[in-house]
């Protein structure tokens, strides 16, 4: 429930090493539902990250402890602990359905949810993209970087109504 972290505390009693705790607050950022102490507890239990469709606090401390927290916002306001909620159900996080057991991958650009049933297909596609990009890196030199891409030809621009002076 937005503004309350009661169920987050309960979830930390159910986690296993390697888990990622995903919290759906419907984007509400008025109150943080986790902070340094909760992240520290999660990390000690082997939790890899928090993904919170809401707010967290203690950004600097969490970063210093090298714990991953993917959040919509950082807010110093603390939560209540008095509203019930659900654990281990399908939720929406950032508008994406997340099922217990889904694979979650995050980096500095954001988070991707991979439905477990689609993981082999998505892994194959990711490998193809990676190989194509690695080949492109190897083939790239200064002259290629400076060349105008084919979709930016004067003819294409003119067809789009863009005037070149």
Give the domains, in start order, of the chain with CATH numbers: 6-114 (3.50.30.40), 121-159 (no CATH)
pLDDT tens digits along 100-149: 999 999 999 999 999 999 999 999 999 999 998 888 777 776 556 666 66
Number of Cβ within 10 Å of residue 70's Cβ equals 20
Which residues, listed in sequence order, are joined to residue 55 by a DSSP beta bridge? 32, 73
Beta strands per DSSP E along 57-135: 68-74, 91-93, 96-98, 103-107, 110-114
Label residue 38 exposed, middle or buried (CB < 10 Å: 0-12, 13-18, 19+): buried
pLDDT tens digits along 113-126: 999 999 999 999 99
What is the end-to-end Cα distance of the chain in Å, rounded? 57
């Amino acid at each position: 429930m937005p503004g309350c972290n009661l169920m987050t505390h309960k979830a930390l009693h159910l986690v296993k090493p390697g888990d990622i705790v995903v919290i759906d607050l419907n984007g509400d950022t008025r109150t943080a539902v986790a902070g340094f102490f909760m992240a520290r507890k999660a990390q000690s239990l082997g939790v890899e990250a928090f993904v919170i469709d809401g707010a967290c606090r203690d950004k600097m401390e969490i970063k210093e402890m090298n714990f991953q927290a993917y959040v919509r916002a950082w807010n110093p306001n603390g939560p209540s602990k008095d509203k019930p909620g659900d654990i281990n159900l399908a939720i929406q996080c950032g508008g994406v359905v997340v099922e217990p057991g889904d694979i979650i991958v995050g980096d500095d650009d954001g988070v991707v949810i991979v439905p477990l049933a689609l993981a082999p297909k998505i892994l194959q596609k990711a490998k193809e993209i990676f190989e194509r990009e690695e080949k492109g890196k190897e083939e790239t030199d200064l002259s290629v970087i400076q060349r105008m891409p084919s979709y930016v030809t004067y003819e294409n621009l003119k067809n789009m109504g863009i005037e070149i002076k």
